[in-house]
Amino acid sequence: MELHLTLVFNGLATGMLIFLLAAGLSLIFGLMSVLNFAHGALFMFGAYMGTWVYILIGGWDSNLGNLNFFIGMAAAAGIGIVLGYLVERFTVRQVYGNHLRQILITTGVMLVVGELVKVFWGPNVIRVVQPEFLTGYFAVGDVRLTYYRVFIIIFSTVILALLLFMLKKSKLGIVVRAGVENSEMIQALGINVRKVFTLVFIFGTMLACIGGFMWGPYQGQVNPAMGLDLMLIAFIVVAIGGLGSVAGSAIAAVLVGLSEAYMAYYFPPGSLAVNMLIMAAVLLIRPTGLFGATR
Amino acid sequence: MNIKKMYSKSEAVAGGGTSGAGTETPKGNRAGTSKPMKNPFQSMTWQKAAWIISLLILFAVPILVSKNSTLFMLTNIFIWAVFAMSYNLLLGYTGIISFGHAMFFGIGAYCFALMARHIPQGELGFLFAFGLTVVICFLLSLVVGLLSLRLRDTFYALITLAVATIFVIIAEQWRTMTMGNDGFNFTAMLSRDLFGFIDLLDRQHVYYIALIFLVSMFVVLKRFIDSPVGRTLQAIRDNEDRVSSLGFAVLNYKLISNIIAGVMAGLAGVVYAISIRFVSPDSVLGVENTIDVLLMTVIGGVGTMLGPIIGAGVVEVSSHYLMGLSHIHPIFERWVILFGIVFILIILFFPAGIVGTINQKLRGKKKEGAS
């Protein structure tokens, strides 16, 4: 029983972290039909940038205490906003409406951003330690709940709640939801969809970069392969959850996180295969994903 | 469509006439009156001549060049060109984008490598490797196609990426069979007198194998693309809804294209294994290989027959020299960044690639001259 509780807890943490990556991907796809292959590389860039600032400031001034973790997170979010704007403005915007060229151009961005990471920070693995106030664990019965995982779950849940609230209540959120349903109609109603696209792209990239930064201390390292590895998982999550559905990707992310945790315990090499099988099963039964709009 | 074809044919003939010695024939040809040609050289257009000359040069290279490294590089360019041609069938002629095409390439390479390692050398093992590759690639592309092609177009990219990653994981984990991440070398197991006259350890022989492979695959692909099925594929690429509403079973056509591309990539993998005598997940199976072949296809020219070949040459040669520059400045180790930027610029400004853009320019000039 303890074993299963631990695995469920771990899976929940992994899933919620994956959700940060998948949410942006899902919204970008739902709204603009862009399958963003650069998402993983942007996620990785955010991870490196945040980690770099986190380690640098931690080395400079130990009086700051745990503030360096949050400064690192802010740096990741900042670079996410900058990169999101640049990528959207100079590449994705140029090829709206052409799926093939969108995929191709985001692949090009993936190559460039992925290599930039290696140019700036080298091709080697960088070790990352968890911030002091999040190291350690507390025990509930025999289940050890590490603080960092608890932090991830709470943080991501807050983001999820905020995201859902904004989509439900704010004017921008309503436009985004309507855009997922039918973006031409929105345009016909006189709303500047391009602006909304840009905002969503920036926001999605920022979320991915924050997720990337939090992934470092979680795994204990950042490395140049993480972008592609996690992007694949994020794609699977988005496909299962339904393109354009935030709640769907949250549920799918937890599902994938749980299967990752269980497979990591029982048969690590099979984890991707199991996720693939889940995806294949969902797509065969419901091609639009669990919560996707039926178009 | 027939009319268009005839038009382009007569245009080509006219072009040949003007560039040749004859000054009276072109007008007659352009009007469409087909005079019987007396001189056999007159019927040979400059395009055909260029083809034959370049082929002759390629066949003569091993006699003129004795440096093994040059031969090795050319051999690999030919093989990557076939791989890129198969990718171009999907991307350029069918309009679907795959991120797992390297799995077929890798399966072919691993089939040959494992055969060379486990079955004592000989013709039977050699042929068996080819046969096995064809069967596996056929079945795999059929299953993957059935699973993904009926969904939204973007899912094909996603599912192929995922399936290919599973193959990478299998190759990494099944250590007893594949030696895991390190891969393995099988130079010693290669036959020195295959069928009595092929020496797989001789670079010249391998060069000719690759060249003949490239030429035959080119002819096969050209014939396929000009066939009714190939024409339908191009129509699907241009307007899928229209073709579908005309009563064509779009899924079946896409499946055919997927299978041919898969089998062709698998065969390219076999020949690649013969050439590099080494396999590892990174060198033949990994997603990087799909990205490389994507770069070649797009840089060379999507939807053109020559594009992938030119692209393979450009990418192979320039990456080779850029890597050689890494002792001047370490930035050259990151040569992929340059390709990435070139790739983005090409998609933004020259979506037809090198060959396609040149073709457009030539056609534009011809039209100006005609009017």
**Which pLDDT tens digit goes with each residue over B177-218?**
778 778 887 776 777 667 767 777 778 888 888 999 999 999
Q: pLDDT at position B366, please?
A: 61
Q: Which of A63-72, A256-265, B362-371 has the lowest mean pLDDT?
A: B362-371
Report pTM. Answer: 0.82
pLDDT digits (tens, 9 = 90+) for A145-168: 888 889 999 999 999 999 999 888
Which residue in chain B is spatially nearest to A94 when comparing CA positions? B348
Instruction: Give the model's confidence band at B5: pLDDT under 50 very low, under 70 low, under 90 confident, else very high.
Output: very low
Q: Any CB–CB contact under 8 A between B331 and chain A?
A: yes
Query: What CATH number has the domain spanning A2-285?
Result: 1.10.3470
Size of interface A-B (CB pairs under 8 A): 95
pLDDT at position A232 over 90? no
DSSP H or E segment with residue A140: strand A137-140
Please give, rounded to a whole number of angstroms, the shortest distance from the CA of B175 to a CA of chain A.
12
| Dihedral-angle region of residue B96 (phi above 0 means left; psi in -120 to 50 means alpha; beta otherwise) | beta
Domain ranges of chain A: 2-285
DSSP state of B325: G
Q: Given an 8 Å threshold on Cβ–Cβ distance, is A283 in contact with B337? A: no
CA angle B124, B130, B250 (to 5 degrees): 150
Our CA-based measurement puts residue A218 at a distance from the nearest CA of chain B, in whole angstroms, of 23
Nearest chain B CA: its distance from A256 CA (Å)? 14
The pLDDT value recorded for residue B258 is: 92
Q: Which range among A148-157, B14-23, B90-99 shows the weakest confidence by mean pLDDT? A: B14-23
CA dist B315 and A201 (Å) reads: 32
Contact (CB, 8 A) for A230 and A41: no
Structure tokens at A236: 């699977």
Instruction: Answer whether A287 touches B (CB < 8 Å).
Output: yes
Mean pLDDT of the residues in chain A = 86
**Which among A111, A243, A277 is the top mutation candidate for probing chain B, defined by the most B β-carbons within 10 Å of its own β-carbon?**
A111
Is any Cβ of chain B less than 8 angstroms from the Cβ of A81? no
Q: How far is B169 from chain A (nearest CA, A)?
A: 7
CB-based contact, B91 to chain A, within 8 Å: yes
B69/A contact by beta carbon, under 8 A = no
A contacts of B153 (beta carbons < 8 Å): 99
Is residue A257 within a helix (H) or strand (E), and if so which, with residue range? helix A246-266
A232 CA to chain B: closest CA distance, Å?
7
Q: Quick one: pLDDT at residue B42?
A: 53
Of A107, A235, A269, the CB nearest to B294: A107
Query: Is A294 a residue whose pLDDT tops 60?
Result: no
Chain B residues with CB-CB distance to A114 below 8 A = 336
Verify whether the Cβ–Cβ distance A235 to B165 is below 8 Å: no
| Integer Cα distance of B12 and B18 in angstroms | 10
Query: Are the beta carbons of A242 and A248 closer than 8 angstroms?
Result: yes
Q: Is B344 close to A269, i.e. CB distance below 8 A?
A: no
Q: Does A86 touch chain B (CB under 8 A)?
A: no
Q: Tell whether A100 lies on the interface with B, counting CB pairs under 8 A.
A: yes
B 292-321: CB under 8 A from A: 294, 298
Taking 60 as the threshold, does the pLDDT of residue B15 lie above it?
no
Instruction: Summarize the confidence of residues B321-333 as an average pLDDT.
Output: 76
Please judge whether A273 and B169 are an interchain contact, meaning their C-beta atoms are less than 8 angstroms apart.
Answer: yes
CB contact under 8 A, B334 and A99: no
Residues 6+ apart with CB under 8 A from A26: A237, A238, A241, A242, A243, A244, A245, A246, A248, A249
Are B298 and A95 within 8 A, CB to CB?
no
Pick A115's closest partner by Cβ from B154, B337, B347.
Answer: B337
Find the mean pLDDT for residues A250-264: 91
* Distance between CA atoms of residues A53 and A247, nearest Å: 32
Closest residue in B to A237 (Cα) is: B158
CA distance A200 to chain B (A): 20
**Would the ipTM clear 0.90, i.e. be above it?**
no
B251 contacts chain A (CB < 8 A):
no
